[in-house]
Amino acid sequence: MSIASTAILIAPTAGAESSFTGAAGRPFASTSVWNSAITSNPALISNSAAIVARLSIGQHVANLNEFGIPIYNASASSPVVSVRCTQAWGPCPLPTAVRLPAGALPNTGSDHALISIDWTANPPVSYDFWGAAQPSGGTISTSWGGITYDLANGSGIGPGGGTSGSATATNVSRLAGVVRMREIQAGLIPHALAIASSLACPGYFRYPASHTDGFDASANCVPEGSRVQLDPSINVGALPYGQQVIAKALQTFGAYVVDNAGASIAVVFESDPSLIGKPGQIPAAYQSAGLAWDYYDMNAIPWSRLRVLQQWDGNVDVTPPTAPAGVTAVSVAPTSVTVAWQASNDGQGSGVVGYYLWRGDPSGQYWTMVASGSSATLADRSALPGQTYLYGVRAQDGVGRLSSSSNIISVRTPVG
């Protein structure tokens, strides 16, 4: 007899949860962005409907094996292996050695992800790997990775130091938001989901993200870090069991866009380590729930009824971004001036959408906007030779609020 025919679903709540262990509970503090239920009538981003219209088209898949996340529980008896990061992006954020259970392997998807939770640490931490190779000779090589601190009461995000480095594009914990096999069996996901999308924006991200790897440059891309919610007024009781569990979590806790993907929406699930390298096979817990194969298209969920929150907590974004700082001219030519600065921050708001470069006359009385864009470098290509100009920059957030001006610099273009 299948789970689908016997289980009684429990509506997710933000109530007390059992302590996080290798066999039960959820990671992070109850007040974290992952474990806080969405308030009623949350404020939505202005183009929520347009973003959702795009997200609702295409595939909405469950990553159950190849791109599922293998999660290993390391104990005092687990072998200690050396760690080597292969990308030259700076100091490797992982320790030089970690506990990793014997036989641990990364998934076979292109991310080659792997998580090892070290339960000997107090509080426990997870070591998150991206681009990992099969351990060999007491060493595991990985493109990059990170540490998620304090799985018992931490935040699971980069801002504030909940993570160091990352195995996700957004610098949030790789463990955060993963749908566990035990949650599907129980019929209850007590946290927000982690999703990836092919429609992620390339130059615009939002709290709790601190980076993006998106490449969809259309006006209605979805910023990484966005929290999306399924309309809670919808009765999802008639959905197939597995999709019903996902839908209820989407209504109560929503989902955060944490990565780029090949589908409009890809929901991140825990994989079964024993099935790594066995394409076409999925954990029995998922199969019994009606999620019948890897990349299962969850087309019974009414994806067109999603909505995109203005801020993660459902509040209205009333704070403008910080002013760009450290403005400097990095290139000066007779007819162009390139200016760079330190990126602005929008705190927990709707994110920094872009910047405006303004050019003033030497008196500072007359200003013209000469360039705009999402990167922290812009060029004035309408300058004239032998002229003195003032330059300043302002940032804009996702709801249209402008920062105060940056520091003002004076630049003189060469004659020729």
Domains and CATH numbers, the chain: 26-308 (no CATH), 325-412 (2.60.40.10)
Has residue 4 got a pLDDT over 70?
A: no
- What proportion of the chain, given as a percentage, has pLDDT over 70? 96
Cα separation, 241 vs 300, in Å, equals 10
Q: What is the 3-state secondary structure (H, E, C) of the chain?
A: CCHHHHCCCCCCCCCCCCCCCCCCCCCCCCCCCCCCCCCCCCCECCCHHHHHHHHCCCCEEEECCCCCEEEEEECCCCCEEEEEECCCCCCCCCCCEEECCCCCCCCCCCCCCEEEEECCCCCCEEEEEEEECCCECCEEEEEEEEEECCCCCCCCCCCCCCEEECCCCCCCCCCCCCECHHHHHHCCCCCCEEEEECCEEEEEECCCCCCCCCCCCCCCCEEECCEEEECCCCCCCCCCHHHHHHHHHHHHCCEEEEEECCCCEEEEEEECHHHCCCCCCCCHHHHHCCCCCCCEECCCCCHHHEEEECCCCCCCCCCCCCCCEEEEEEEEECCEEEEEEECCCCCCCCCEEEEEEEEECCCCCCEEEEEEECCCEEEECCCCCCCEEEEEEEEEECCCCECCCCCCEEEECCCC
Q: Which of 290, 293, 309 is nearest to 301 (CA)?
A: 290
- Residue 161's pLDDT is 85
109-138 residue pLDDT tens? 999 999 999 999 999 999 999 999 999 999
- Which pLDDT value is given to residue 1? 28
- If we measure between CA atoms, which residue out of 91, 179, 84, 193 comes closest to residue 138? 84
Q: In what order do the strands lie in the sheet with 255-260?
A: 296-297, 60-63, 265-268, 193-197, 255-260, 227-230, 306-308
Give CA–CA dist 225/306, Å, rounded. Answer: 15
177 pLDDT more than 80: yes
Tell me: pLDDT of 406 over 90: yes
C-alpha to C-alpha distance for 271 and 268, rounded to whole angstroms: 9
What is the mean pLDDT of the segment spanning 2-27? 64
Q: Is the pLDDT of residue 26 over 80?
A: yes
pLDDT of residue 173: 97
Q: What is the pLDDT of residue 44?
A: 97
Phi, psi (degrees; rounded to nearest 5) at 342? -80, 135
Compute the mean pLDDT over every residue in the chain, rounded to the nearest whole number.
Answer: 94
Distance from C-alpha of 181 to C-alpha of 281, rounded to nearest angstrom: 14
How would you list the strands of the sheet with 352-360, edge to edge?
367-373, 352-360, 388-397, 409-412
Distance between CA atoms of 255 and 12, rounded to whole angstroms? 14
Q: Give pLDDT, residue 77.
A: 98
Model confidence pLDDT, tens digit, residues 15-25: 445 799 999 99
| pLDDT tens per residue across span 57-107 | 999 999 999 999 999 999 999 999 999 999 999 999 999 999 999 999 999
Q: Per residue in 276-330, pLDDT tens?
A: 999 999 999 999 999 999 999 999 999 999 999 999 999 999 999 999 999 999 9
Pairwise CA distance, residues 121 & 197, whole Å: 34
Comparing 132 with 210, which gets the higher pLDDT? 132
Q: Residue 213 has which token pair?
A: 């790897």
pLDDT of res. 17: 59
Q: Report angle CA 265, 112, 85 to the nearest 5 degrees.
A: 125
User: In the predicted model, what is the mean pLDDT of residues 181-204?
Assistant: 97
Which residues, at least 6 apart from 75, have a Cβ–Cβ distance to it below 8 Å?
99, 101, 119, 120
Q: How far apart are CA 294 and CA 269, in angstroms?
A: 10
Question: Rounded distance, CA 82 to CA 80, Å?
Answer: 7
The answer on pLDDT for 167 being more than 60 is: yes
Please, which pLDDT band fits residue 376 given cuts at 50, 70 and 90? very high
